[in-house]
Amino acid sequence: MTEQTQVIPQEGDPAPNFDLPATGGGRVSLAGLSGKPFVLYFYPKADTTGCTKEAQDFEAALAALGKTAPTVIGLSRDPVAAIEKFAKKAGLTFPLATDLEGEVVAAYGSWVEKSMYGRTYMGIDRSTFLVGADGRIARVWRKVKVPGHAAEVLKAAAALSGRPPGS
């Protein structure tokens, strides 16, 4: 990943472009989602406690929303094999994507300096972006706390679509 001045996208900005390998041998891209609202969430590491809980919460919220559910994509810098294993183990039906080079993570402002036990390092900020059908960022959540987050995001997505949840 190259070092440069980072422009952090805000609500109302066009969503940064992406085209990435995803689970199931597929790809996810901004162009492929054109005209549809979607949720792109960044998580630090596949198959860790917090990331598993977050993914399972998104899965449960998607089921509750039924036809109003937007596309949800989880994104990390894990290799394809790791996200495939994670998706299968967690029983996920939505795609997980990989950004090994970290360019998309950086474009969304989710590659940040972190600190743990007095040590600083670079890592993924747990963050979520709700992108409208117009390709613009409708909502941004940063420094996400997992409990209740997926339900809040998908409620905002349902409101964006103009349909009540579950309809």
Active site residues: 51
Element spanning 116, H or E: strand 111-116
Can you give the C-alpha Rg of the chain in angstroms? 15
Is residue 37 within 8 Å of 131, Cβ to Cβ? Answer: yes
Task: For 16-60, give the DSSP string.
Answer: PP-EEEBGGG-EEETGGGTTS-EEEEE-S-TTSHHHHHHHHHHHH
Kindly state the DSSP code that residue 70 receives in the 8-state scheme. Answer: P
Q: Which two tokens stand for residue 118?
A: 């007095």
Calpha distance 38→167 (Å, rounded)? 17
